[in-house]
Copies of this chain bind each other. A is one copy, B any other.
Amino acid sequence: MQNASLEVKALTFDVFGTVVDWYSSIVAEGKKFGDTHGIDIDWTQFALNWRAGYGPAMNKVRHGELPWQNIDALHRLILDDLLDEYNITDLSETDTDHLNRVWHRLTPWPDAVSGLKRLRKQYIIATLSNGNVALLTNMAKFGGLPWDCILSAELTHHYKPDPEVYEIAAALLGLSPNEVMMVAAHPGDLRASQAVGFQTALVPRPLEYGPGRVQEVTAHPSDIVASDFNELADLLGVE
Protein backbone atom coordinates (compact mmCIF):
# COMPACT_ATOMS: atom_id res chain seq x y z
CA MET A 1 0.00 0.00 0.00
CA GLN A 2 2.74 2.43 0.95
CA ASN A 3 4.51 1.79 -2.36
CA ALA A 4 1.38 2.21 -4.42
CA SER A 5 0.35 5.42 -2.70
CA LEU A 6 3.75 6.91 -3.48
CA GLU A 7 2.68 7.07 -7.13
CA VAL A 8 -0.41 9.12 -6.34
CA LYS A 9 -0.29 12.67 -7.68
CA ALA A 10 -3.96 13.64 -7.39
CA LEU A 11 -6.84 12.86 -5.06
CA THR A 12 -10.35 13.02 -6.52
CA PHE A 13 -13.23 13.31 -4.10
CA ASP A 14 -16.80 12.22 -4.12
CA VAL A 15 -18.65 15.22 -2.70
CA PHE A 16 -22.27 14.59 -1.55
CA GLY A 17 -21.91 12.67 1.70
CA THR A 18 -18.12 12.37 1.53
CA VAL A 19 -17.10 16.06 1.73
CA VAL A 20 -20.36 17.73 2.70
CA ASP A 21 -23.18 16.82 5.08
CA TRP A 22 -26.17 17.15 2.76
CA TYR A 23 -28.61 15.76 5.33
CA SER A 24 -28.08 18.32 8.11
CA SER A 25 -27.71 21.16 5.63
CA ILE A 26 -31.00 20.46 3.87
CA VAL A 27 -32.91 19.84 7.07
CA ALA A 28 -31.62 23.10 8.58
CA GLU A 29 -32.27 25.21 5.50
CA GLY A 30 -35.61 23.50 4.91
CA LYS A 31 -36.79 24.39 8.40
CA LYS A 32 -35.86 28.05 7.87
CA PHE A 33 -37.49 28.03 4.47
CA GLY A 34 -40.61 26.49 6.02
CA ASP A 35 -40.73 29.15 8.75
CA THR A 36 -40.46 31.94 6.17
CA HIS A 37 -43.05 30.45 3.84
CA GLY A 38 -45.46 28.97 6.40
CA ILE A 39 -44.74 25.38 5.39
CA ASP A 40 -45.03 23.02 8.35
CA ILE A 41 -43.71 19.64 7.29
CA ASP A 42 -41.14 17.12 8.52
CA TRP A 43 -38.02 18.46 6.78
CA THR A 44 -36.07 15.43 7.92
CA GLN A 45 -38.24 13.19 5.81
CA PHE A 46 -38.32 15.75 3.01
CA ALA A 47 -34.51 15.73 2.83
CA LEU A 48 -34.39 11.93 2.81
CA ASN A 49 -37.07 11.76 0.10
CA TRP A 50 -35.27 14.31 -2.04
CA ARG A 51 -32.01 12.41 -1.78
CA ALA A 52 -33.80 9.10 -2.41
CA GLY A 53 -34.89 10.39 -5.81
CA TYR A 54 -31.33 11.13 -6.86
CA GLY A 55 -30.04 7.65 -7.73
CA PRO A 56 -33.13 6.63 -9.72
CA ALA A 57 -33.14 9.95 -11.63
CA MET A 58 -29.48 9.53 -12.60
CA ASN A 59 -30.11 5.95 -13.60
CA LYS A 60 -32.82 7.12 -16.00
CA VAL A 61 -30.18 9.32 -17.66
CA ARG A 62 -27.58 6.55 -17.54
CA HIS A 63 -29.96 4.10 -19.21
CA GLY A 64 -31.28 6.55 -21.81
CA GLU A 65 -34.80 6.94 -20.38
CA LEU A 66 -34.11 10.67 -19.91
CA PRO A 67 -31.91 12.82 -22.15
CA TRP A 68 -28.73 14.17 -20.60
CA GLN A 69 -29.36 16.78 -17.95
CA ASN A 70 -27.28 17.95 -15.04
CA ILE A 71 -27.94 17.49 -11.35
CA ASP A 72 -29.54 20.91 -10.92
CA ALA A 73 -32.14 19.80 -13.45
CA LEU A 74 -32.60 16.35 -11.84
CA HIS A 75 -32.87 17.86 -8.36
CA ARG A 76 -35.56 20.15 -9.74
CA LEU A 77 -37.51 17.25 -11.32
CA ILE A 78 -37.50 15.45 -7.98
CA LEU A 79 -38.32 18.62 -6.05
CA ASP A 80 -41.31 19.42 -8.27
CA ASP A 81 -42.70 15.94 -7.63
CA LEU A 82 -42.10 16.30 -3.88
CA LEU A 83 -43.79 19.71 -3.72
CA ASP A 84 -46.82 18.14 -5.43
CA GLU A 85 -46.76 15.22 -3.03
CA TYR A 86 -46.59 17.54 0.00
CA ASN A 87 -49.30 19.69 -1.55
CA ILE A 88 -47.06 22.78 -1.53
CA THR A 89 -48.49 24.68 -4.47
CA ASP A 90 -47.99 28.39 -3.92
CA LEU A 91 -44.22 28.89 -4.19
CA SER A 92 -42.94 31.39 -6.73
CA GLU A 93 -40.44 30.26 -9.37
CA THR A 94 -37.79 32.35 -7.61
CA ASP A 95 -38.45 30.63 -4.28
CA THR A 96 -38.56 27.17 -5.83
CA ASP A 97 -35.30 27.81 -7.65
CA HIS A 98 -33.72 29.09 -4.45
CA LEU A 99 -34.84 25.96 -2.59
CA ASN A 100 -33.51 23.75 -5.41
CA ARG A 101 -30.11 25.41 -5.07
CA VAL A 102 -29.82 24.39 -1.43
CA TRP A 103 -27.57 21.69 -2.91
CA HIS A 104 -25.10 24.51 -3.75
CA ARG A 105 -25.05 25.48 -0.06
CA LEU A 106 -24.15 22.29 1.77
CA THR A 107 -21.92 22.45 4.83
CA PRO A 108 -18.61 20.55 4.86
CA TRP A 109 -18.08 17.84 7.48
CA PRO A 110 -16.09 19.33 10.39
CA ASP A 111 -12.78 17.79 9.27
CA ALA A 112 -13.18 18.50 5.56
CA VAL A 113 -11.67 21.97 5.12
CA SER A 114 -8.72 21.42 7.46
CA GLY A 115 -8.04 17.99 5.97
CA LEU A 116 -8.22 19.25 2.39
CA LYS A 117 -5.87 22.13 3.19
CA ARG A 118 -3.31 19.62 4.42
CA LEU A 119 -3.79 17.20 1.52
CA ARG A 120 -3.48 20.07 -0.95
CA LYS A 121 0.12 20.70 0.12
CA GLN A 122 1.19 17.38 -1.34
CA TYR A 123 -1.46 16.48 -3.92
CA ILE A 124 -3.68 18.00 -6.54
CA ILE A 125 -7.13 17.81 -4.98
CA ALA A 126 -10.20 17.82 -7.21
CA THR A 127 -13.87 17.11 -6.95
CA LEU A 128 -15.13 14.12 -8.92
CA SER A 129 -18.82 14.34 -8.32
CA ASN A 130 -22.09 13.80 -10.11
CA GLY A 131 -22.87 17.39 -9.08
CA ASN A 132 -22.58 19.88 -11.92
CA VAL A 133 -19.70 22.34 -12.27
CA ALA A 134 -21.70 25.39 -11.15
CA LEU A 135 -23.04 23.55 -8.11
CA LEU A 136 -19.57 22.39 -7.08
CA THR A 137 -18.03 25.81 -7.71
CA ASN A 138 -20.69 27.62 -5.70
CA MET A 139 -20.47 25.02 -2.92
CA ALA A 140 -16.70 25.45 -2.71
CA LYS A 141 -17.10 29.20 -2.32
CA PHE A 142 -19.89 28.72 0.24
CA GLY A 143 -17.97 26.23 2.36
CA GLY A 144 -14.37 27.33 1.79
CA LEU A 145 -13.35 24.10 0.08
CA PRO A 146 -9.88 24.69 -1.38
CA TRP A 147 -10.07 22.61 -4.57
CA ASP A 148 -7.33 22.87 -7.16
CA CYS A 149 -9.76 21.85 -9.86
CA ILE A 150 -13.49 21.21 -10.24
CA LEU A 151 -14.11 17.96 -12.10
CA SER A 152 -17.63 16.73 -12.65
CA ALA A 153 -19.58 13.97 -14.35
CA GLU A 154 -21.18 16.84 -16.27
CA LEU A 155 -18.02 17.08 -18.39
CA THR A 156 -18.70 13.63 -19.85
CA HIS A 157 -22.51 13.58 -19.98
CA HIS A 158 -22.25 10.35 -18.01
CA TYR A 159 -22.91 9.75 -14.32
CA LYS A 160 -20.83 7.79 -11.86
CA PRO A 161 -20.39 4.87 -11.63
CA ASP A 162 -20.00 4.89 -15.45
CA PRO A 163 -16.28 4.38 -16.21
CA GLU A 164 -16.19 7.41 -18.53
CA VAL A 165 -16.36 9.76 -15.54
CA TYR A 166 -13.20 8.37 -13.94
CA GLU A 167 -11.40 7.99 -17.26
CA ILE A 168 -11.93 11.61 -18.27
CA ALA A 169 -10.86 12.84 -14.84
CA ALA A 170 -7.47 11.13 -15.14
CA ALA A 171 -7.10 12.32 -18.74
CA LEU A 172 -7.92 15.94 -17.86
CA LEU A 173 -5.43 15.83 -15.00
CA GLY A 174 -2.82 14.49 -17.44
CA LEU A 175 -2.28 11.44 -15.24
CA SER A 176 -2.52 7.72 -15.64
CA PRO A 177 -5.33 6.16 -13.56
CA ASN A 178 -2.93 4.63 -11.02
CA GLU A 179 -1.63 8.12 -10.24
CA VAL A 180 -5.10 9.13 -9.05
CA MET A 181 -6.75 8.12 -5.77
CA MET A 182 -10.54 8.25 -5.46
CA VAL A 183 -11.74 9.26 -1.99
CA ALA A 184 -15.33 8.36 -1.14
CA ALA A 185 -17.67 7.22 1.60
CA HIS A 186 -19.42 4.89 -0.83
CA PRO A 187 -17.95 1.50 -1.78
CA GLY A 188 -19.71 1.49 -5.17
CA ASP A 189 -17.90 4.65 -6.22
CA LEU A 190 -14.56 3.18 -5.11
CA ARG A 191 -15.20 -0.12 -6.89
CA ALA A 192 -16.00 1.67 -10.15
CA SER A 193 -12.88 3.87 -9.91
CA GLN A 194 -10.78 0.83 -9.07
CA ALA A 195 -12.06 -0.95 -12.19
CA VAL A 196 -10.58 1.92 -14.22
CA GLY A 197 -7.25 1.65 -12.37
CA PHE A 198 -7.56 4.32 -9.68
CA GLN A 199 -6.20 3.82 -6.20
CA THR A 200 -8.83 4.23 -3.51
CA ALA A 201 -9.40 5.61 -0.03
CA LEU A 202 -12.54 4.83 1.92
CA VAL A 203 -13.66 7.51 4.37
CA PRO A 204 -16.89 6.21 5.94
CA ARG A 205 -19.43 8.86 6.92
CA PRO A 206 -21.73 6.91 9.24
CA LEU A 207 -23.95 9.94 9.87
CA GLU A 208 -24.58 10.72 6.19
CA TYR A 209 -28.29 10.00 6.58
CA GLY A 210 -28.58 11.66 9.98
CA PRO A 211 -28.37 10.45 13.55
CA GLY A 212 -30.32 7.28 14.20
CA ARG A 213 -29.63 6.07 10.65
CA VAL A 214 -26.00 5.05 11.03
CA GLN A 215 -24.60 3.68 7.79
CA GLU A 216 -22.60 0.48 8.01
CA VAL A 217 -20.06 0.42 5.20
CA THR A 218 -20.05 -2.90 3.43
CA ALA A 219 -16.53 -4.27 3.20
CA HIS A 220 -14.42 -2.82 0.42
CA PRO A 221 -10.77 -3.66 -0.27
CA SER A 222 -9.58 -0.06 -0.28
CA ASP A 223 -5.92 0.83 -0.40
CA ILE A 224 -6.55 3.12 2.55
CA VAL A 225 -9.34 3.42 5.11
CA ALA A 226 -9.49 6.62 7.16
CA SER A 227 -12.06 7.92 9.60
CA ASP A 228 -11.81 11.48 8.26
CA PHE A 229 -9.71 13.69 5.97
CA ASN A 230 -7.15 14.52 8.65
CA GLU A 231 -6.53 10.85 9.28
CA LEU A 232 -6.27 10.41 5.52
CA ALA A 233 -3.57 13.10 5.50
CA ASP A 234 -1.79 11.32 8.37
CA LEU A 235 -1.89 7.98 6.54
CA LEU A 236 -0.53 9.59 3.37
CA GLY A 237 2.31 11.14 5.34
CA VAL A 238 1.22 14.76 4.87
CA GLU A 239 2.29 17.22 7.59
Contact = CB atoms under 8 A, between A and B. Distances in A.
Given A155-B155, A172-B154, A174-B132, A137 B148 contact: yes
A62 to B, nearest CB: 20
A154 B169 CA distance: 13
Interface residues of A, number: 20
A98 interface: no
A124 B148 contact: no
A138 B172 CA distance: 12
A133 B174 CA distance: 8
A149 B174 contact: no
Contacts of A220: none
A133 B72 contact: no
A126 B141 CA distance: 12
A154 B173 CA distance: 11
A173 B133 CA distance: 6
Contacts of A149: 133, 137, 150
A140 interface: yes
A72 B154 CA distance: 23
A217 interface: no
Given A155-B155, A174-B132, A124 B150 contact: no
A131 to B, nearest CB: 11
A134 interface: yes
Contacts of A174: 72, 132-135, 138
A41 B154 CA distance: 46
A124 B126 CA distance: 17
A99 to B, nearest CB: 16
Interface of A: 72, 124, 126, 132-135, 137-138, 140-141, 148-150, 154-155, 172-175
**Shortest 6 CB-CB distances between A and B: which pairs?**
A134-B174, A133-B172, A137-B149, A149-B150, A134-B173, A137-B148
27 contacts: A72-B174, A124-B137, A124-B138, A124-B141, A126-B137, A132-B172, A132-B174, A133-B149, A133-B172, A133-B173, A133-B174, A134-B172, A134-B173, A134-B174, A134-B175, A135-B174, A137-B148, A137-B149, A137-B173, A138-B174, A140-B148, A141-B148, A148-B150, A149-B150, A150-B150, A154-B172, A155-B155
